[in-house]
Amino acid sequence: MLTKMYLTNFLSFRDRTEFDFTSSKYSILQKTNVYDNAVLKGALFVGPNASGKSNALKGIGLIIDLIKSENISLIDYRCFFALTSTTTVEYEFFINNQKINYEISYNLDEKKLLENLTVDTETILFRDGSYGELTIDGNKTIEQKLDPNTLFLRTASFNTGRFPQNKTLHNFMEYLFNSYYIDGYNRTAPFGKNITNYAELYGVDKINQYLKNFNYDFFLEYGSESHGEGLQIHVGSGQKSIFFKRNSYPIPSTFYNESQGNQVFADMLPNIIQIIESPGMLVIDEFGNSLHNKLAEKIVLFFMKKSSSSQFFITSHDTNLISNSIFRPDQINLIYYNGEDGSKVKRVSSYKPREAQNLEKMYLGGMFEGLPFYD
């Protein structure tokens, strides 16, 4: 699980900025929101528009994208106003009671990628441009012609079958491959693709069970036709569609004729199911977009209660999520922009609020950083 992240010259984060995902001394939500009294089950990022919330989440999402994809340009993550040309992202994970540190740096002037991965204090993977070394159980492999646009960690993982000879590294790669980064605002062309692919592979029975657990009035069907209350819909020969039907009035509706909120929720459910049932991270920018704030609360609370080995990282403008009944103070990250110094972050726990205080009211009252002022 991700315990810390550091961003340096990364988009709007100019100075080396620490993001801490370990628990503080607060006792609230200890059983639901914290693993082994040490690692948080995720975090909420709040702040004004253009403060850097999405950029913080892109730092977490970067390792997911780079592990799952080839030819992703790190030039796109360069700092807006840094004096140096090197962008650096550092991650600290805690897997199998071992600490994994992984660092990625990219020098824009030299167009050179650097990587370093250690397990506890032992260096496992090292890269300097096209040269790389991989050392597992004392066996060293040297690579002289690494692809400049692909992580050495990704290549080594594929070449070895995700490190079957080392349990910690294997579980680390499984954790990353079972992680998902979703932009909740820029969802145009692929919209609906996620739930459709899931239904094609696994059907909708499990989806409907989750909808029932959410006490949601809808259930889904998947096929070429659906009918109810005297209405029958055909989508065409050889084609299939997701259909929504209300429990209270089961008239069918195709996915693209449903409300945007229902579309967003349904398309999110496969990822929620997968990270609850398998270790991984779910990272959602603009979480709650098109969802009622009570449903957004329900999703967070459901994950915190049901997950046993995963993490949930989100940005949101729904201030009702700034609550001691949903997130702990050490899970709420306030992002604010500090002029030429770039984006900064503070956890609400650094203000030491009492457990009985109303965090949302304190935030809206200007007692914390990260509140926009338009007067």
Query: Is residue 337 a contact partner of residue 56, using CB atoms and an 8 Å limit?
Result: no
Neighbours of 116 (CB within 10 A): 17
Stretches in the chain below the pLDDT threshold 70: 82-83, 184-191, 374-375
| Cα 174 to Cα 193: distance, rounded to the nearest angstrom | 23
DSSP letters for 240-267: -EEEEEESSS---EEGGGS-HHHHHHHH
Helix axes 167-177, 53-68, angle to 10 degrees: 120
- DSSP lists the bridge partners of residue 337 as 343
pLDDT score at 188: 46
pLDDT score at 184: 61
pLDDT score at 134: 95
**This prediction's pTM:** 0.94
Domains and CATH numbers, the chain: 2-179+280-364 (3.40.50.300), 193-263 (no CATH)
pLDDT score at 189: 41
pLDDT score at 224: 93
Residue entry with tokens 């994994």: 100
pLDDT score at 186: 54
Q: Which amino acid is at 3?
A: T
pLDDT score at 76: 87
87 contact partners, CB below 8 Å, separation of at least 6: 8, 9, 10, 74, 77, 78, 79, 105, 106, 108
Where residue 244 falls (left for φ over 0; alpha for ψ -120 to 50; beta otherwise) is: beta
pLDDT score at 82: 67
> What b/e sequence results for 332-370 when a residue is b if at least 16 CB atoms lie within 10 Å of its CB, and e otherwise?
bbbbbbeeeebbbbbbbbeeebeeeeebbebbeeeebbb
pLDDT score at 369: 83
365 contact partners, CB below 8 Å, separation of at least 6: none
Can you tell me whether residue 111 is helix, strand or coil? Answer: coil
